[in-house]
């Protein structure tokens, strides 16, 4: 249906349908509260794929052993629980950004005042579900009636990832076609630790910590890529490497003699025409610089959270933190605020440290109207460490003793004050690396701090 049906000053149209049909079943078995087994199987059909590629089969099996129920551990008083668990299963993904992939898609445009059809998507009838194989193994334990620990190792293999393959130029537009032609793997470890430091009738103090560490590896690159890999946006992707490995121009600081930005250039192999690892010179323009593997990735070494809670004589206090150690973010928002300047644009306060004839020892280029090299985001200059620590929430409350409220017909009365997004610390003040994993224009700054107070009354 046309949005405008008479005057073709602006003509737009859109329609879309999506259907998902699934059948699934699950079986569980428990023997003597010691040995647990589970299995599931499901068949899903998605309208996004062609009829002969529409259905996907996915299954999972799991087992756990409640070792604490064994006779040789029942007499161990300091051990409260011990459970060993493992599972393996498959999943499918049809969230690929297109209503259908098995037929050509068109857009209605306005050309010379008349409605016109433009092909926007080339049919890909062979495309089917992206598939993931997930393996988990771990244990849960508790001891001394105070400490709980959960550790899990995981491997996730993603097969038949959907990739936009550029077709031959002779095939015309659009310039890409979907294919299932890429695999990758994530593997790592997760842990959760909780401990009651103080546990008495009137006072309870708990500390908790959790964390995740993982590595990402591309296990199969698309068949039309060069053997050594390929640049995709700001990343270099190769078999055996991560899907997130920054590939950028190397920032070399500011020329103290004239205030121009500097970038590294490397010598080119005469036979292959490709850059080598032999340094050549420093240049003032990215058009003459060399893209390089930085060895840096947005993936952190460790991330998670920790919290504390205290209850004592009617008072309750809790605080939760989030943290990340390692990783890098391309801070494009900061880069935009460090431009050479134009009417109506704002600047970051760091622009006060720009190069001038009196301030030559600086890493901020000179200000020059519409000078495009001043804030190039495809360089290592704006890679910022992604480590952070944030105080997500703090709550303080007091509950009146029930014996003071019984005669009034009230069973509970609690006064409290709570704060969200209370505090945040990172390399770049205010930058919230949680909002954009790999940087880019979608990155935003920290959420607003909110403080609220209230009364909870129960009759």
Angle at 239 between CA 236 and CA 245, to 5 degrees: 30
Predicted pLDDT at 436? 64
Q: Give 208-243 pLDDT, tens digit per residue.
A: 999 999 999 999 999 888 888 999 889 999 999 999
Q: Give 390-438 pLDDT, tens digit per residue.
A: 999 999 999 888 777 777 667 778 899 999 999 988 888 767 777 666 5
Predicted pLDDT at 337? 87
Predicted pLDDT at 189? 97
| pLDDT band at residue 8 using 50, 70 and 90 as cut-offs | low
- What is the mean pLDDT of the segment spanning 306-330? 94
8 Å CB contact between 386 and 300 = yes
Predicted pLDDT at 105? 80
Residues 6+ apart with CB under 8 A from 147: 193, 194, 195, 196
CA distances to 88, 163, 188, 377, 412 from 212, in Å: 20, 28, 7, 30, 39
Pull the structure tokens for residue 137: 């193994």
Residue 29 pLDDT > 90: yes
8 Å CB contact between 86 and 134 = no
CA nearest neighbour of 59 among 76, 79, 82, 43: 43
Q: Which one is predicted more confidently, 347 or 105?
A: 347
Predicted pLDDT at 215? 95
Query: Between the ranges 52-56, 84-88, 178-182, 226-230, where is the mean pLDDT highest?
Result: 84-88
Average pLDDT of the chain, as a whole number: 87
3-state DSSP of 318-329? EEEEEEEECCEE
8 Å CB contact between 307 and 321 = yes
Kindly calculate the radius of gyration of the chain based on its CA atoms and give it in whole angstroms. 29
Predicted pLDDT at 100? 83
Name the strand (E) or helix (H) holding 398.
Answer: strand 388-399
Strand partners, 250: none
β-pairing verdict for 261-268 and 147-159: unpaired
8 Å CB contact between 94 and 64 = no
Pull the structure tokens for residue 401: 């003793």
Max CA-CA distance within the chain?
94
Residue 245 pLDDT > 60: yes
Residue 55 pLDDT > 80: yes
Name the strand (E) or helix (H) holding 73.
Answer: helix 71-74
**Distance (Å, whole) CA 335 – CA 386:** 16
Helix, strand or coil for residue 334? Answer: helix
Helix, strand or coil for residue 352? Answer: helix
Range with the poorest average pLDDT among 190-194, 219-223, 376-380, 418-422: 376-380
8 Å CB contact between 238 and 218 = yes
- What is the mean pLDDT of the segment spanning 257-277? 90
Q: 372's torsion region: left (phi>0), alpha (psi -120 to 50) or beta?
A: alpha
8 Å CB contact between 132 and 158 = yes
CA nearest neighbour of 315 among 396, 373, 245, 372: 396
Strand partners, 22: 44
3-state DSSP of 283-330? ECCHHHCCEEECCCCCCCCEEEEEEEEEEECCEEEEEEEEEEECCEEE
Strand partners, 62: 38, 87
Pull the structure tokens for residue 1: 């249906």
Name the strand (E) or helix (H) holding 333.
Answer: helix 332-336
Measured in whole angstroms, the distance separating CA 397 from the mean position of its chain's CA atoms is: 34
- What is the mean pLDDT of the segment spanning 351-371? 90
Predicted pLDDT at 445? 65
Pull the structure tokens for residue 209: 């910590």
Residues 6+ apart with CB under 8 A from 184: 157, 158, 161, 216, 217, 218, 219, 220, 243
Q: Which one is predicted more confidently, 201 or 307?
A: 307
Q: Give 118-170 pLDDT, tens digit per residue.
A: 777 788 899 999 999 999 999 999 999 899 999 999 999 999 998 888 777 77
Q: Which one is predicted more confidently, 267 or 272?
A: 267
DSSP code string of 269-280: -TTT--EEEEEE
């Amino acid at each position: 249906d046309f949005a405008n049906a008479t005057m073709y000053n602006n003509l737009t149209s859109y329609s879309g349908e999506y259907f998902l049909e699934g059948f699934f079943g699950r079986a569980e078995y428990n023997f003597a509260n010691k040995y647990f087994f589970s299995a599931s199987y499901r068949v899903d059909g998605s309208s996004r794929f062609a009829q002969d590629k529409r259905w996907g089969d996915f299954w999972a099996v799991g087992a756990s052993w409640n070792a604490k129920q064994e006779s040789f551990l029942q007499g161990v008083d300091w051990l409260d629980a011990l459970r060993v668990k493992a599972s393996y299963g498959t999943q499918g993904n049809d969230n690929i950004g297109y209503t259908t992939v098995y037929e050509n898609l068109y857009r209605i445009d306005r050309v010379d005042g008349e409605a016109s059809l433009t092909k926007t998507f080339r049919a890909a009838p062979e495309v089917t579900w992206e598939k993931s194989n997930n393996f988990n193994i771990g244990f849960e334990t508790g001891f001394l009636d105070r400490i709980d620990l959960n550790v899990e190792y995981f491997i996730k293999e993603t097969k038949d990832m959907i990739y936009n393959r550029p077709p031959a130029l002779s095939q015309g537009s659009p310039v890409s076609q979907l294919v299932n032609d890429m695999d990758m793997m994530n593997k790592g470890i997760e842990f959760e630790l909780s401990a009651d430091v103080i546990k008495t009738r009137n006072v309870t103090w708990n500390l908790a910590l959790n964390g995740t560490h993982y590595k990402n590896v591309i296990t199969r690159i698309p068949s039309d890529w060069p053997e050594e890999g390929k640049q995709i946006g700001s990343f270099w992707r190769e078999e055996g490497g991560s899907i997130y490995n920054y590939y950028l121009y190397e920032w070399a600081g500011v020329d103290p003699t004239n205030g121009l930005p500097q970038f590294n250039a490397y010598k080119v192999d005469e036979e292959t025409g490709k850059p080598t690892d032999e340094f050549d010179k420093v240049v003032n323009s990215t058009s003459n610089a060399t893209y390089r593997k930085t060895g840096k990735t947005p993936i952190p070494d460790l991330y998670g959270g920790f919290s504390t809670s205290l209850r004592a004589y009617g008072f309750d206090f809790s605080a939760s933190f989030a943290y990340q150690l390692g990783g890098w973010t391309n801070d494009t928002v900061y880069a935009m605020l460090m431009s050479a300047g134009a009417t109506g644009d704002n600047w970051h306060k760091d622009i006060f440290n720009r190069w001038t004839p009196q301030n030559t020892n600086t890493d901020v280029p000179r200000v020059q109207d519409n000078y495009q090299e001043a804030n190039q985001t495809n360089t290592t200059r704006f890679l910022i460490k992604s480590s952070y620590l944030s105080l997500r929430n703090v709550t303080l409350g007091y509950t009146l003793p029930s014996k003071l409220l019984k005669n009034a017909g009230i069973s509970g009365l609690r006064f409290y004050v709570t704060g969200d997004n209370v505090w945040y610390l990172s390399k770049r003040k205010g930058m919230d690396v949680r909002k954009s994993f790999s940087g880019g224009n979608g990155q935003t700054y920290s959420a607003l701090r909110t403080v609220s107070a209230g009364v909870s009354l129960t009759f």
